[in-house]
Structure 1
């Protein structure tokens, strides 16, 4: 008689979690891709639709504004009513809005549908981080956030390439429409898979928590007042626009006071301010804001320079930044595996790599002729991309690791709102430096170098924050080094630092 042994198999529920994560990451990919893919399609919109410069600006900035404004309220809504329902609703609206954008008959309709698309993307994003918090624990959660970091880095970097490929294949007249139509099959498949795979975690509605409309209004107006002059910096001439910045700061101050009052009265606030008592959350959010101010601006100034000064096509410009995207994916996967062992030290290494890579691009631009830049920037792009992946993924994990699961959606919304504000601020500052140098009839190569050095400045701010936190934790651990429990305490600290 022969005995056969069946191979041990993973439980179906475990496989289901990772497939559900795949649905979340797919939706996150197309929503983040749309922040950059349209940049190379703007000339096609002008040629095929007659979009003015103002309309083109709102196609780009309107999406960013609506995305940023929706994040925190959508995260809170997911916490209360259930993240599965909120995710599927946002994905459905995003897919329909993408179709409407592609069918738009005039620039005005395109801008309107683009605003709806951005708000829907803001509905989807915080549900992803919240679902990861609910579905995974420990090392698995770090791995899941590592995959999310890969998606964030790759989707942002690969947008110009994807747009260039579409425009090159379809043509200038209708290429811009297919930049939006490409979302349709992906969105439909992701929605169908989400209906089957996403877990049905209950929200907090059973506790009769109420939504906070006044908090939504104060936060939304505050973020809008901060972001609007930043994203419209090139279109709104004059200095009057900067008066909105102190208005935004005042509104956010009032939001803080209102939320504290809500907490004292025992009412559920839009954002639980106790989150900011968590050192890991506060510091991680500041690092993320500073990093995204430098990270996203790289593709902005590189796309401008390569197409306007070096004469590259949209496709060639996209191929030039492809090494950054590929290396970022590799770095994020690596960071997800190592973050629980090395903690904040990994973020310091990643930020150093990004700064080194950008300085390498500056050196290449200074020393190499324009026609050879595509090949000459491969190595520094890879260095910067690896650093980016090792930064975004671990920092996201470390920022959210101690956040209570019931507040995971709102916390993810706060984190990503900081990323959107940082991106807008960075593009405004770096764009001003770049265009100011060109306006003074300076060489385009020098304008690019100054723009990239400004980006490095933002990266160094994030690096200083990470180094300061690492030193503080090292000092705090030193007095306990001789105790019998020191080894286990250091291990625990490295897992959550």
Structure 2
């Protein structure tokens, strides 16, 4: 029997007695989350080794990367809904088990098809596990403690994305180029086994969960939403592999499928059936603006590592380890400021995110300037300080946004809400990599890697500035709402002078 303290799901997030094991349970969640998010970026530096070891064609190499992200993004929302309905600890452990087994299958791959299929399973498992983390934080913590917990989670998100190339480079250098790529996956096995053991002992139950029938999980809604997200992401994920403009016809197809999903969702609500995603959440300004802002931010944020790795390894002939080290200042900055952002978000709110986005935009602009002014192998060192500034800003964006976006979400919808927020991140990443990559490759000449890198960073900065505009709009809307509330209270007090104040 798992040792846990009961939490009662009410309409208000975080209500109920505090779990005395909550911080140890959080540590288990963060380690598992780090492992799944790390696999988004760690494989980048392993691609040359995989290509040589398995004689993998370029199209399959692309699917080793994009297949994981695509499966991850497709499963997030239904995975969150399943956790809300069936139990977050149960779904967390199922996802962790599948992820660990899929990692073993990736490491043992004997062909590129084997590896691609295993990566799809690994991504689906990550999408099943990941939304349980934000939902469990909602369930176990409240008030300032929740801000601290999301700050730690934000640290994990920022560091796992940025440090992936460095860890991949270290593993490949240590195990050798021929077989080193396998250890990029095998390293998950002991971590997954330990987390699985601790999860059973420490993670809390979900009191509102119970046995559910398949139809209670809204399979029609899952199918419509999954097909819509797939149709939206595919042209971006396959931007380099599918020449011509025909692929963009999938975007209106995606719009039609998502419109059908909205109609189906409304029908479920009218009939009193719980849909896979409660669209009433988008009536909360903090939620929908937070999802839009993080989509735009991840479009700029994750594309940095994509083009930086290409520039450093292919353009400047850095080794995998050297390229990872060059990007490490961003990870260090994000790790240092994320916990601070989690502590300060309760005091400063959305303006803290505005400051963070401004720092990221300035840092990326200075990174492009450094790459332009310092050609050759010295560029990696010149980029260190600007990347550190961008990382410090990033730590003030991801965790505080997670806290504010989910702040008004009821705990019984925490899984699907967290899955929606993370789906925004995955969609943003796919769009950003495609957009920045297309500009990068269009500008790339035989001896102009620095120019291509400059142009790619300009697009990354544009996405970050768009996220900044959304954050400023949210700050302005919040201030107007507070002024209206104060005016209304003053009017009521004037009209009823004898009323106690």
Length-normalised TM-score, structure 2? 0.92
Stretch deviating more after TM superposition (366-375 or 417-426): 366-375
State the Cα distance separating 1:360 from its structure 2 match. Answer: 0.8
Query: Could you tell me whether the CA contact under 8 Å between 1:81 and 1:202 is conserved in 2?
Result: no
Query: Could you tell me whether the CA contact under 8 Å between 1:130 and 1:408 is conserved in 2?
Result: yes
What SS class does the counterpart of residue 396 from structure 2 fall into?
helix
1:7 matched residue in structure 2: none
| Structure 1 portions without partners, runs of 5+ | 1-11, 487-497
2:124 pairs with one of 119, 126, 135: 119
**TM alignment of 1:172-183, pairs within 5 A:** 172-183=177-188
2:89 pairs with one of 84, 90, 102: 84
Query: Could you tell me whether the CA contact under 8 Å between 2:19 and 2:140 is conserved in 1?
Result: no
1:190 pairs with one of 195, 210, 230: 195
Query: Could you tell me whether the CA contact under 8 Å between 1:129 and 1:412 is conserved in 2?
Result: yes
Q: Distance in 2 between matches of 1:63 and 1:86?
A: 19
1:400 pairs with one of 406, 413, 420: 406
State the Cα distance separating 1:214 from its structure 2 match. Answer: 0.5
| Shift in alpha-carbon separation, 1:354–1:211, aligned structure 2, 3 A | same
2:210 matched residue in structure 1: 205
Q: Distance in 1 between matches of 2:107 and 2:342?
A: 36
Query: Could you tell me whether the CA contact under 8 Å between 1:78 and 1:203 is conserved in 2?
Result: no
Q: Distance in 2 between matches of 1:484 and 1:94?
A: 53
**TM alignment of 1:14-93, pairs within 5 A:** 14-93=19-98
**TM alignment of 1:83-162, pairs within 5 A:** 83-162=88-167
Query: Could you tell me whether the CA contact under 8 Å between 1:42 and 1:56 is conserved in 2?
Result: yes
Query: Could you tell me whether the CA contact under 8 Å between 1:327 and 1:385 is conserved in 2?
Result: yes
1:452 matched residue in structure 2: 457
Residue 207 of structure 2 corresponds to residue 219 of structure 1: no
Residue 352 of structure 2 corresponds to residue 346 of structure 1: yes
| Shift in alpha-carbon separation, 1:203–1:50, aligned structure 2, 3 A | farther
Q: Distance in 2 between matches of 1:284 and 1:105?
A: 43
1:264 matched residue in structure 2: 270
State the Cα distance separating 1:201 from its structure 2 match. Answer: 2.0
Q: Deviations over 1:204-229 (max 9, x none)?
A: 43798811010010001001001111
CA RMSD of aligned residues (A): 1.8
State the Cα distance separating 1:442 from its structure 2 match. Answer: 7.1
Figure out how many residues of one structure are paired with residues of the other and give that number. Answer: 474
Residue 417 of structure 2 corresponds to residue 411 of structure 1: yes
2:333 pairs with one of 321, 327, 336: 327
2:6 matched residue in structure 1: none
Q: Deviations over 1:61-103 (max 9, x none)?
A: 1001100010011100000000000000000000010001100
Q: Distance in 1 between matches of 2:415 and 2:428?
A: 20
Q: Deviations over 1:264-286 (max 9, x none)?
A: 11111111111001010010000
Q: Deviations over 1:238-280 (max 9, x none)?
A: 2211111111111011101110111011111111111001010
Q: Distance in 1 between matches of 2:378 and 2:447?
A: 21
Q: Distance in 2 between matches of 1:89 and 1:132?
A: 18
2:374 matched residue in structure 1: 368
Q: Distance in 1 between matches of 2:165 and 2:212?
A: 46
Query: Could you tell me whether the CA contact under 8 Å between 1:81 and 1:204 is conserved in 2?
Result: yes
| Structure 2 portions without partners, runs of 5+ | 1-16, 492-501
Stretch deviating more after TM superposition (49-58 or 403-412): 49-58
2:168 matched residue in structure 1: 163
State the Cα distance separating 1:112 from its structure 2 match. Answer: 0.7
Q: 4+ residue runs of structure 1 moved beyond 4 angstroms?
A: 12-15, 206-209, 479-486
